[in-house]
Amino acid sequence: MADPRDPRPLIGEPLALDLLNTRWAGTPVNDLLADLDGYRIWLTANGLAERCPVDRDSLAAVLTVRTALQELVDAADRQQGAPPDGLNRVLAHGRLRRRLTGAGPQQSVEVDGDQWLAAWLAADNYLELLDQGAHRIKACAHPSCILHFFDTSQNGRRRWCSMAVCGNRAKAARHYEKVTR
């Protein structure tokens, strides 16, 4: 559910990547999570506003996992391994509890404290994305863009966070180069 106050150029990605995309290109880099109001917008955009507190401890936990995710995707972009310690520290604050009820299987998330819920869900979502295909977690190919997306295209060849924005910029730059030669 989009929040009309959400200024980000790319929304709607899976939770882990949507968290990474709370920072986007600008001078200085734009950061939705610079304050609690931005954190509230991010929670609302991801359907977590009713489940997660909006306080400094929760924001700090989310910033911790965002840093860990950024390190992991940056290392993957460079085709290098990165130690998963930061992500694993966040994951250690929660667990998925499964049980069988009369209505069938159920699962619920248990965290050490409410401040860890959004952070843990984002970390867990990253593991789900890796299971679906680590090669589909991509950085936008535009050199000035810092956004990430999960490539759901059939052939896995999506290059841009948005064809209408970054893809169009790249096409316009190629055209300009061609006509100025």
Digit-coded pLDDT (tens) for 13-37: 999 999 999 999 999 999 999 999 9
Q: Average pLDDT in the 130-138 region?
A: 95
Mean pLDDT, residues 130-150: 94
pLDDT per residue over 32-66, tens digit each? 999 999 999 999 999 999 999 999 999 999 999 99
Q: Are 121 and 43 in contact (CB under 8 A)?
A: no
For residue 50, report the phi and psi dihedrals to the nearest 5 degrees: -85, -15
3-state secondary structure the chain: CCCCCCCCCCCCCCHHHHHHCCEECCCCCEEHHHCHHHHHHHHHHCCCCCCCCCCHHHHHHHHHHHHHHHHHHHHHHCCCCCCCHHHHHHHCCEEEEEEEECCEEEEEEEECCHHHHHHHHHHHHHHHHHHHHHHHEEECCCCCCCCEEECCCCCCCCCCCCHHHHHHHHHHHHHHHHHCC
Mean pLDDT lowest for which of 2-6, 40-44, 114-118, 131-135?
2-6
CATH number for the domain whose boundaries are 15-139: 1.10.3300.10
Confidence of residue 177 (pLDDT cuts 50, 70, 90): low
Direct distance between the N- and C-terminal alpha carbons of the chain, in angstroms, rounded to an integer: 46
Task: Please state, in angstroms and rounded to a whole number, the distance separating the CA atoms of residues 122 and 91.
Answer: 9
The per-residue pLDDT for 175 is 44
User: Does pTM top 0.85 for this prediction?
Assistant: yes
133 pLDDT above the threshold of 90: yes
Mean pLDDT (the chain) is: 91
The structural domains of the chain, with segments of one domain joined by +, span: 15-139
pLDDT of residue 4: 86
pLDDT at 76: 87
pLDDT at site 50: 96
pLDDT at 173: 55
